[in-house]
Chain A
Amino acid sequence: MQPRIKQFPQLAAAALKDEQIQNNLLGLYNGFHQARIAASEATPNWDELSDRGRAIKAHTIDNLDYYLEMVERTVTAAGGKVFFAKDSDEATQYVIEVAKARGVKLAIKGKSMVSEEMGLNHRLEEAGIEPVETDLGEYIIQLADETPFHIIAPAIHKSKEQVSDLFQEKLGTPPMTEISDLAAEARRQLRKKFIEADMGITGANFVVAETGTVALVTNEGNGRMSTSMPKLHIAITGMEKVLPSIEDLGIMLRLLIRSATGQRISSYVTTVTGPRKSDDEDGPEEFHLVLVDNGRSKLLADPALRESLYCIRCGACLNACPVYRKVGGHAYGWVYPGPIGAIVSPMLTGLSDGKDLPYASSLCGACKEACPVKINIPRMLLYMRHQLAEGDNYPEHKTAPLGEAITFKLWRLSLSNSLSLKIFSGLARLLQKPFAKDGRINKLPPPLSAWTNLRTFPALASRPFRKRWKS
């Protein structure tokens, strides 16, 4: 998928004006966010569980090479194939090769964020293979040719009227007013596809190294369909999704599901270990696991950012974030939105392109508090800001413009002694005259207009505090 992370300011501004989006974002907060809080409070020892989950991830990521070797061994032993892809292109090529070798015409897909990274659907189409998303939300955004708005609820920005219009246009169905009718229509359309499909493509929420098992969490059952109906199953996921032992799943599933939707457990958790056995009644004849790096080794290599790979993609930090809750998922311009996206997207696609994302945070800490594996997101955002401005770890991405550097030099100068403060504040008082009204500045000329486009700015008082204090 082509990142649009450069356009954060424009995309964010557009979302702020969109009433529909603002409304649905509120629903996300009242729904997922509150449900997560209730679920974690209802879980005994949530905090302990959370620490344990974090420690499991930390250990696995710190020894990832060891556990990846193990995955290769165990999946192979279970009769599956593992492919390691250094980037999207390699992963895509592999999937297409496997599909072509089997003469695949129709591929059904469970939700996979990594396949969004790869822009896999478009590439499959180019190769003459029809990809069909089967998660209801993903199905809707595939019809609309959009990207996921939220990692758990990809189409949550749409109203039922918009979905009805979309179905009318793309599927030729009559207008519908009930959400249950829309869902039933999707079921009908997709049931046919499940039956005809030659290949199932899914993500993987966890990959268990010890046993070579892939775990899938869904509520709709599309993950089960995709792993049961077609003759070929390919699971694609990021290399950081590995866990050491199948016994660790109990902890990680609780943390993931309760933080994602607030359910005790989702309707379905499916684990898959290799293709079907000869005695099995059904199941795929072939199983492939594609583990993707696609820039993740950059996060591994930087100790300051490594913990971003502990992320289990629950979406809790999105729902908790006051910035995400206003600008929504599309503003972030790529697959991963919200606080964790502000770290991962620039690092995977280009730090200088995504230079606005680390700033799309008030550093209030709500994300860190919500995170079930206690990832210190604000610390990393601050670190990235520092690297962008004056750090040495990513020299080719340093982006602080000259103007900004000069401004801050002057700022420092102005505050360095009382005389310069007097001079500078006097100057500012003079310059603000044409723009200030009732103690607020509502509109400044470019480039300062960036400050005032979406908010007003308090004007300097006409008499400084020092003078008022004296009199």
Chain B
Amino acid sequence: MDSKEFIANVRRSLGREEGSQVTPSEATHMSLSSQQVESWAQAITRGIEAHADEYMGQLEKTAVEAGWRVARCATAAQAASHIRNIVRDVEATSVLHSAHPALEALHLGETLIGTGANLEAMVLNDTSDREVQRDALRQKAINADIGITGVDYAIAETGTAVLLARKGVSRVVSLLPPVHIAVVEKGQVLPSLDELFTLRRKEFLHNNLGSYMNLISGPSRSADIEYQLVTGVHGPGEVHMVLIG
């Protein structure tokens, strides 16, 4: 149906006049101005630094409750050796990772030497045809045993890792392999969902929303048969959250 006609029908059903002005009610955040969003966002950014320890401590607990296997590491070197152990335990032969900055300090290449695992970045480069590269990367993700990512944020309220669309971050590194490892640095943890969506709104206002966002909170699971919980239905059944700091 023509969209004008469709919307006109909705308007008629509501008994509203064409061209009526709408002021967003106070219930919706739509009523907040972009200046308000900016200053909220600034306050949030200050808050996550000021309360970094507290939020990290909460996340450690809620992530376990959400089904993550959580390791709190004091340094990047400790985190790297923890990841090395996971790769060994899983007997992984193929490990993929994203291009998150948090992973650089882990020197994954050196870390995994001697584990027998082949490590590759799931990142497009500018050297050849993108479609050809995309097909090859996809095939790698289908066959990989472990996917390692950083996060853009984590959420203390819900035990969530937040992955945003950005260059070098594939949608499927954290989805197709049966094991996912998410690395969270101190200062990345938001207290609750509300702060996340305020920051997202700010990013939208800066034209920087990206094509997707994934909130990941524990393993893939289902209780569709007899209400009994099973994990690893379509996504990873084993998920690790590695907290640094």
Contacts and interface: CB of A to CB of B under 8 A. Distances in A.
A165 interface: no
A186 B220 CA distance: 14
B214 A268 contact: yes
Nearest to A298: B13
Contact of A155 (B3, B6, B122, B224): B224
B172 A265 contact: no
Interface string B119-139: 000111000001000100110
Contacts of B193: 249-250, 253-254, 265
Contacts of A78: 211
Contact of B10 (A59, A191, A275, A300): A300
Interface string A258-274: 00010011111111111
Contacts of A135: 224
A273 B211 contact: yes
Interface stretch (A61-69, A409-417, A441-449): A61-69
A272 B8 CA distance: 27
Given A64-B10, A190-B234, A59 B223 contact: no
B197 A250 contact: yes
B165 A280 contact: yes
B134 A59 contact: no
A17 B192 CA distance: 47
Given A55-B27, A60-B28, A300-B13, A250 B227 contact: no
Contact of B219 (A72, A85, A267): A267
A134 B175 CA distance: 15
A94 to B, nearest CB: 10
A23 to B, nearest CB: 9
Interface string B4-22: 0011111111111000101
Chain A CB within 10 A, most for which of B12, B134, B198, B225: B225
Contacts of A32: 227
B137 A281 contact: yes
B10 A239 contact: yes
Interface in B194-225: 194, 196-198, 200-201, 204, 209-225
A90 B235 CA distance: 34
B10 A297 contact: yes
Contact of B7 (A65, A179, A220): A65
Interface residues of A, number: 99
B226 A159 contact: yes
Interface in A31-63: 31-32, 52, 55-56, 58-60, 62-63
Contacts of B77: none
B224 A156 contact: yes
A134 B65 CA distance: 26
A267 B218 contact: yes
B158 interface: yes
B235 A247 contact: no
Contact of B230 (A180, A247, A248, A278): A180
Interface string B54-75: 0000000010011100000000
Interface stretch (A224-232, A423-431, A463-471): A224-232
B188 interface: no
Contacts of B192: 250
The residue in B7, B193, B222 that gathers the most chain A C-beta atoms within 10 A of its C-beta is B222
B220 A245 contact: no
Contacts of B226: 24, 27, 156, 158-160, 179
B32 interface: yes
A153 B211 contact: no
B169 interface: yes
Contact of A248 (B29, B165, B227): B29
Given A271-B212, A277-B165, A219 B28 contact: no
Given A55-B27, A183-B233, A279 B13 contact: no
Nearest to B21: A66
A82 B3 contact: yes
Contacts of A72: 3, 7
Given A63-B22, A86-B6, A220 B222 contact: yes
Interface string A293-320: 1000110110000000000000000000
A239 to B, nearest CB: 7
A280 to B, nearest CB: 6
Contacts of A136: 222, 224-225, 233
Contacts of A254: 193
Given A65-B10, A220-B222, A247-B29, 18 more contacts: A55-B27, A59-B28, A65-B16, A137-B222, A179-B225, A182-B225, A213-B209, A219-B221, A221-B220, A221-B233, A224-B235, A229-B172, A246-B209, A268-B215, A269-B215, A279-B124, A281-B171, A300-B10
A-B pairs, 9 with minimum CB distance = A221-B235, A247-B29, A55-B27, A137-B224, A84-B6, A281-B170, A244-B30, A250-B193, A301-B13
Interface of A: 24, 27-28, 31-32, 52, 55-56, 58-60, 62-66, 68-69, 72, 78, 82, 84-86, 90, 134-137, 140, 153-156, 158-160, 163, 179-180, 182-184, 186-187, 190-191, 194-195, 210-211, 213, 219-222, 224-225, 227-229, 239, 243-251, 253-254, 261, 264-283, 293, 297-298, 300-301
Interface of B: 1-3, 6-16, 20, 22, 24-25, 27-30, 32, 37, 62, 65-67, 122-124, 130, 134, 137-138, 142, 157-160, 165, 167-172, 175, 192-194, 196-198, 200-201, 204, 209-228, 230, 232-236
13 contacts: A72-B3, A84-B2, A140-B225, A183-B232, A213-B209, A228-B172, A247-B194, A249-B193, A265-B193, A277-B210, A281-B122, A282-B170, A283-B171
